[in-house]
Amino acid sequence: MVQHTLQGCYLIDGQPVAQQDAFEELSPAEGREKTIAYRILRAHDSGEPDGLRLRFDALISHDITYVGIIQTARASGLCEFPVPYALTNCHNSLCAVGGTINSDDHAFGLSAAMKYGGIYVPANLAVIHQYARERMACCGSMILGSDSHTRYGAYGCMGIGEGGGELVKQLLKNTYDLPYPEVVLVWLEGSTAHGIGPQDIALALVAATFPDGSVKNKILEFAGPGLKGLSSDFRMGIDVMTTETACLSSIWATDEKIEQYYHCVGRPCDYKKLEPLDGAYYDSVIRIDLSSVESMIALPFHPSLAIPVHQLQAEPESILSQAEKSCNEQLDGTARLDLTRCIRSGKVFFDQGIIVGCSGGMFENISEAADILEGSSVGNGFFDLSVYPASAPLSLAITQGGIAERLMKAGAVVKPAFCGPCFGAGDTPAHNTLSVRHATRNFASREGSKPSDGQISGVALMDARSIAATAANAGQLTAATDIPYTVKAQDYQYDDSIYKKRVYNGFGNPMPDTQLLLGPNIRDWPVIQPLRQDLLIRLAAVIQDDVTTTDELIPSGETSSLRSNPIKLAEFTLSRRYPSYVANSKAIQKISSSVQAGQIPDGLSDILKAVTAQPEQLTVGSCIFAKRPGDGSAREQAASCQKVLGGWANICYDYATKRYRSNCINWGIVPFTVQRENGWEFSEGDWIYIPGIRYALEHGTEILPGTLIRDNGRTLLPIELYCSSLTDRERRILLEGCLINYYASINADIKK
């Protein structure tokens, strides 16, 4: 289905040719400039020789992130939004903890849009990415979003999902900095079989690329003869899932079908044809034979654990037993998932089906699901089906076209635009049940359960078509390719009158006298001290999982309602993966406060004597070790919560994503790595002393010698920590303690 060749290639006369077979008139560096990706990047780059310095055309955030972003930018000198910035309300629409918290955040968002000249999209009007697709994406443009699934490449727009700190930099007219990325050609051939949807292609792609990290932080560029058979919706359904490959961004060649899309949404002038130029160079090539892709299913707890539906049907006991074992190892005893209970008479049954959000809730997915379900019933047993169209215009279209009627007559429940089921704030399944979803992720507890309370349920990912086929079979796993149905061709009849009546669009018209509406839960960031000469950190958590997700670092779901209160939210840090972390960090934070005040608490004096550390030159803080942290969400709270609790460093073998590493840097958490082959065995409670860290950061030193301290100073082990590839600005942010302090220091320098 998917073949990744890890060798360079040129596109010559419209065909990919292996680098060694090509007549190389161009060097790879010159050929890379002929890709669609680099032509867009260069149009947004300031032209520095050591890497890209990008300014984006637009920004977008949702209500889990925009309060913190605006509060950070406001503390850093924000006057008005310099580019269109849309604040959507698709995550905190359901108040899981009660009270006025979510509505207060929304009121803050509208007042900020008025004050600074932004765009405010009310709750349930659109999920973040559908609004961007319909109103903001343009061919050749770039959008930065504070959500990891910021992907609009199929529409010719490069989207990048990052933590809030990177949006703050754009709001303050600074740049997004990164090394020159590699570009991977995704060459599409053939045509899809009846019943195959975009999630099937996407899961096959994720399964082929995520495990080996072969496209991590790279740009995927889609082209090839297979494009012509794919609709704009189908392409976008694949594109949004490229986030799960760990790539940086994506871009597609555009054609008349994308041109039709821009006509459909009333913005024909925003279309232009994009295609790679002859001689374009790619660092590797992924070939996808669309005709060979089967109906796919991704098992808990990761989208990359994807296999053909037919394989699971043939071997349910062995496959689910192995998946169950792996899941329970990851849960580490906090709860136990029983997947084999889903097998009845040799068949796999689900308890819930969900079609939702930026990946599932698109027009063609919903329309074809209705085609499959017409005349059927989801039954009156345990299985239920919910469908969430991704925007109000889309809801209007499926209503006027009779699609919603057909779904409802089959027993499905059609709900308003909301991202909740994607991250655990809606439709949480019952304990020890299995939900099948056309959504973006299926991480542990992301469906809303609380393993620390003994609760757990599982999510499998599948395309809307196969979910509908499964629903028509009362929850029994069924591939859409195995049932007869007729697709009723219906075009998306887009009507933006709802947006015109409800969306506040104040870009270019800020009203600075507007008072921000600050509900009682909205709090400013606590004061953070700059980094001193030496650093002494203590491991508050040691996680040996192969990958640690941001949903484990800071849980999604009901905690989302507390996103605007840094102190309260920090109480949930690692709560579902490492429950002792908060208490450990607070104990270390107490020691740090004593040292800042010139006092040496009991137990620390022996540590300081062992390494001859001077308290007045010392920053003391907590640290996390994880093998590969940061897969998944772009939410900066995965790092900021560590900082609120006194975190000063993370240690790992490798960061799963650039966005998490950037979040750490923007919150003053030094992103250390260690060499796996050195065999360091870290334990909770270990101290690590890094002398001269301030000098090292000031001078760009990348290898920092330190001392691992155990047994109250009686055991000292030398250790090497790496802190590589930092820009000058990133080093200064770390020195100042966080991004807010960095901007405060710049403002102070200007005043001088």
* Closest C-alpha among 147, 162, 504 to residue 358: 147
pLDDT digits (tens, 9 = 90+) for 549-606: 998 999 877 677 788 889 999 999 998 889 999 999 999 999 999 999 899 988 899 9
- CA dihedral over 735, 655, 201, 555, signed as positive or negative: negative
Q: What is the CA radius of gyration of the chain?
A: 25
The reply to whether 61 falls in a domain is yes
Q: What gap in Å lies between CA 379 and CA 579, rounded to an integer?
A: 40
Kindly state the tokens that stand for 638: 């995965």
Looking at the structure, tell me whether residues 584 and 652 fall in a common domain: yes
CATH number at residue 715: 3.20.19.10
Looking at the structure, tell me whether residues 616 and 677 fall in a common domain: yes
Looking at the structure, tell me whether residues 257 and 387 fall in a common domain: no
State the chain's mean pLDDT as an integer.
Answer: 93
Looking at the structure, tell me whether residues 82 and 43 fall in a common domain: no
Mean pLDDT over 487-512 rounds to 94
Cβ atoms of residues 227 and 139 within 8 Å:
no
Looking at the structure, tell me whether residues 276 and 343 fall in a common domain: no
The reply to whether 548 falls in a domain is yes
- CA dihedral over 424, 426, 432, 438, signed as positive or negative: negative
Looking at the structure, tell me whether residues 683 and 747 fall in a common domain: yes
- What domain count does the chain have? 4
CATH number at residue 152: 3.30.499.10
Looking at the structure, tell me whether residues 107 and 206 fall in a common domain: no
CATH number at residue 43: 3.40.1060.10
The reply to whether 350 falls in a domain is yes
The reply to whether 381 falls in a domain is yes
Q: What gap in Å lies between CA 472 and CA 485, rounded to an integer?
A: 12
pLDDT of 94 strictly over 70? no
Looking at the structure, tell me whether residues 473 and 539 fall in a common domain: no
Query: At which of 443, 477, 497 does a domain end?
Result: 497
The reply to whether 328 falls in a domain is yes
Query: At which of 174, 189, 216 does a domain end?
Result: 174
pLDDT at 751: 55
The reply to whether 515 falls in a domain is no
The reply to whether 304 falls in a domain is no
pLDDT at 173: 95
* Closest C-alpha among 209, 344, 232 to residue 285: 209
pLDDT digits (tens, 9 = 90+) for 668-701: 999 999 998 877 789 999 999 999 999 999 999 9
Residue 442's pLDDT band, with cuts at 50, 70 and 90, is very high
pLDDT at 561: 75
Looking at the structure, tell me whether residues 696 and 591 fall in a common domain: yes
Report how many helices (DSSP H) and strands (DSSP E) the chain contains, helices first.
27, 34
Query: At which of 174, 198, 229 does a domain end?
Result: 174
For the chain, what percentages of helix, strand and coil (3-state, to nearest 5) are there? 35, 20, 40
Kindly state the tokens that stand for 185: 């050609």
State percent of the chain over pLDDT 90: 83
Range of the domain at 127: 56-174
Looking at the structure, tell me whether residues 318 and 464 fall in a common domain: yes
Looking at the structure, tell me whether residues 673 and 566 fall in a common domain: yes
Cβ atoms of residues 428 and 561 within 8 Å:
no
Looking at the structure, tell me whether residues 39 and 119 fall in a common domain: no
* Closest C-alpha among 338, 347, 345 to residue 309: 347
> For the chain, first and last CA: distance in Å?
62
**Secondary structure in 3-state letters for 281-304:** EECEEEEEEHHHCCCEEECCCCCC
Its pTM surpasses 0.85: yes
The reply to whether 402 falls in a domain is yes
pLDDT at 189: 97
